[in-house]
Amino acid sequence: MFDPAQLVKSLPDAFRKLDPRKMIKNPVMFVVEIGAVLTTVFTITDSSFFGWLIVAWLWLTVLFANLAEAVAEGRGKAQADTLRRAKTETEARLLRGPAHNGVEERVTATALHVGDLVVCEAGDVIPGDGEVVDGIASVDESAITGESAPVIRESGGDRSAVTGGTKVLSDRIVIRITSEPGETFIDRMIALVEGADRQKTPNEIALTILLSSLTIIFLLAIVSLQPMAAYSGDPQSIVVLVALLVCLIPTTIGALLSAIGIAGMDRLVQRNVLAMSGRAVEAAGDVSTLLLDKTGTITLGARQAVEFIPVGGVSAADVANAAQLASLADETPEGRSVVVLAKEGYGLRGRELLGSTFIPFTAENRMSGIDQPDGHQVRKGATSAVVSWVRELDGIIPEETAARVDEISSSGGTPLVVGERRHGSARVVGVIHLKDIVKEGLRDRFDELRKMGIKTVMITGDNPLTAEAIAREAGVDDFLAEAKPEDKMALIRREQEGGKLVAMTGDGTNDAPALAAADVGVAMNTGTPAAKEAGNMVDLDSNPTKLIEIVEIGKQLLITRGALTTFSIANDVAKYFAIIPAMFASVYPGLDTINIMRLSTPESAILSAVIFNALIIIALIPLALRGVRYKPTSAANMLRRNLWIYGLGGIVVPFIGIKLIDLLISLIPGIG
């Protein structure tokens, strides 16, 4: 996360940022730069070794502040360069006429406009952002996501969006362009990761106002100090007054504030999440309610067989044998899981099935099965379908069958009944328990979120009984069953009316209204253009559980900013004890009692404080970029930790640092 070599690479940018037109955006450091200019002018007219040392370290303070921001931006530029390599000047096959048999025309990608239809076949680079309107193809998106595995893009549904710069690996698709040249997804990514489009967040603006107010207060205090010093017979030089001002204003957080914000967005980019605004990152740190889709987020998304339950005196091994035979022609994930469970749990493999007729599963018959040459027939499927099949021969339906089916349903699972016919008779032999598997480790993560005061809500289209069972197993706080788009919107509005910030994920057009309404709306990169436009974040990996990481990154951003603000203001206390006694001890001997550091000379005390003030910025750059280590806990514990570590540390560290610098400076002739 932090490469010291980046400091050297970023030095030219740090010097360029000395331009007052850029510095004025950071009021605290702008005051330091003005102070550096004043001390330079006055030292030229009244040259002294002490004055030139102060001048040098004031300019270094400004430079180090710019360096912190430049290093943060430099990492973004490195990522932007990678993205630019994916943004090539591509030739497009513009389609004039119908999608199936229109006339093709070769044009450059920059000539495409919203609504144009283009054709892409295997080996073609997609010329611009768009939506597949015809066909299906395998697409390599590694240039954008870093993931080497190809993805499927097809017309209709929620996996129709394609990104310019990605490559078609197979088949033929027709794409409707949805962005103008220069406004593509990659263009926006480049601008955002470079920091060019980074707007200050509300909290950042509020903190800047606070720091500016403190700077003005200290400036007025220093201005009023000179008449008092003159009256006491010990007027201070401009160099000393500027040094005092720079040491007392919150330069540490003023220097690092921008870098903290840039690094927060950078940490999201590191995890393949693109934040469309800094506001979204900040809001993620204050989220109170987390809406999570069940399928693919909380559960694996495909029901799996977990148990064979015998009925009517049949053994579990016989049920496994029959279930596997009936599932060999079932290509659904559920059917595959039945075969795997029978193989792994009962060692059933290497079947002799020559001459058998396979019955594939269809939506009409709701069963799959096999008819063997010896007359043995087996079926597996929905309860009503298999029971009807058995009853066609007046077969046996054991009494416990209904009870087992009800038990599985009430637990949130899906029952499949297994029946067989042999020699003119039929019977139900058992029930398969299908279960939507909850992802491993999610309960622990939800427990962590609960400690942070975040409420988790599972959204699903399942019936309330199934939803309740899954919610209980996953450990979420609440659930919304049989959810429609308007139900999601109503839930978000209800939470927001209580003053809470809401985050949710989505990938479909029907999710767009809710994504737009949520404070943090994370759209999947595989989703529709409508969903990606509605959200304020896009997950390039299309991993819905990423929402939990996004919340953690947002909280880390807020914690880092708060910790360094606490440290910055606290270390001003130590610098006060270093400089004030040194300035007036000769006139007011009583001040010597607060000279607890016993610094060598007044000049050494002032210079030591200025040097420490500059060096602490460089020392904290890695922490600002990496972020304060985040640990889920309550707000009260977090505040207590901040005060103990960064509040107390902000007081103690400067005392030690300034004293050590003073010991070194005391060796310099004319200062010590």
Which DSSP symbol is given to 461?
S
What span, in angstroms and rounded, lies between the C-alpha atoms of 83 and 146?
A: 10
Contacts of 583 by beta carbon, 8 Å cutoff, 6+ apart: 229, 234, 236, 240, 244, 602, 606
330 is in an annotated binding site: yes
Identify the sign of the CA torsion 217, 219, 224, 229: positive
What span, in angstroms and rounded, lies between the C-alpha atoms of 417 and 379?
A: 8
539 is in an annotated binding site: no
What span, in angstroms and rounded, lies between the C-alpha atoms of 35 and 30?
A: 9
19 is in an annotated binding site: no
116 is in an annotated binding site: no
Contacts of 388 by beta carbon, 8 Å cutoff, 6+ apart: none
Burial class from Cβ neighbours inside 10 Å (0-12, 13-18, 19+) for residue 46 reads exposed
Cβ contacts of 111-117, under 8 Å, gap ≥ 24:
111/181, 112/177, 112/181, 113/177, 113/180, 113/181, 114/177, 114/178, 114/179, 114/180, 115/176, 115/177, 116/176, 116/177, 117/174, 117/175, 117/176, 117/177
The question of whether 116 is a catalytic residue gets the answer no
What span, in angstroms and rounded, lies between the C-alpha atoms of 246 and 143?
A: 46
Closest CA to 175 of 164, 186, 188, 184: 164
As a whole number of angstroms, the longest Cα–Cα distance in the chain is 120
What span, in angstroms and rounded, lies between the C-alpha atoms of 50 and 582?
A: 15
Contacts of 656 by beta carbon, 8 Å cutoff, 6+ apart: none
Identify the sign of the CA torsion 484, 485, 487, 491: positive
Count other Cβ atoms within 10 Å, centred on residue 490.
Answer: 15
Closest CA to 476 of 555, 550, 549, 548: 548
334 is in an annotated binding site: yes
Identify the sign of the CA torsion 147, 152, 157, 161: positive
Annotated catalytic residue: which of 116, 129, 293, 662? 293
Q: Token digits for 437?
A: 């598997």
Known binding-site positions for Mg(2+): 507, 511
Residues that constitute the known binding site: 330, 334, 380, 507, 511
Residues tagged in the binding site annotation for ATP? 330, 334, 380
Active site residues: 293
